[in-house]
Amino acid sequence: MGTRAVLSGTTRHAVVVVVVAVVCGATASVGQTPLTLADAMRRARDATPAARAVAAASEAAGARVGQARAGYFPRIDLTESVQRGNQPVFVFGSLLSQQRFTAANFAIDALNRPAAVTSVRTAVSVEQPLFDAGATRLAVENAELGRDLVAASGAGTRQDLALAAADAFLRVLQLESAARAHQAAVEAAESDLARARARHGVGLITDADVLDMEVHLADMRERQLAAAADLAVARFQLNDAIGAPLDDLQALVAPDVSSVTSPPAEPLIREALASRSDRHEADLHVALAANARRSAQAAFLPRVSVQGGWEFNGRGFTDQRSSWVVGAEMQVNLIRGFGDVARLAETRHAEAGAQAERDRVERAIEVAVRGARARLDAARGRERVGREALAQARESQRIIRDRYEGGLATIADVLRAAGAVVDAESRAIAAGVDVIRQTVALDRAVGRL
CATH number, position 34 = 1.20.1600.10
What region does 80 belong to: left with phi over 0, alpha with psi -120 to 50, or beta? Answer: beta
Q: What pLDDT sits at residue 9? A: 35
Q: What pLDDT sits at residue 349? A: 96
The segments of the chain whose pLDDT lies below 50 read 1-31
Q: What pLDDT sits at residue 423? A: 87
**Which residue type occupies 86?**
N
Q: Domain containing 440: what range? A: 2-446
C-alpha to C-alpha distances, 179 to 15, 205, 246, 427, nearest whole angstrom? 12, 32, 20, 14
Q: What pLDDT sits at residue 32? A: 61
- If you write DSSP's letter for every residue of 284-332 in order, what string do you get? HHHHHHHHHHHHHHHTTS-EEEEEEEEEEEESSTTS-EEEEEEEEEEE-
Q: What pLDDT sits at residue 3? A: 32
Q: What pLDDT sits at residue 16? A: 34
Domain count across the chain: 1
Q: What pLDDT sits at residue 14? A: 33
Residue 348: how many other CB atoms lie within 10 Å: 16
The per-residue pLDDT of the chain, averaged, comes to: 87
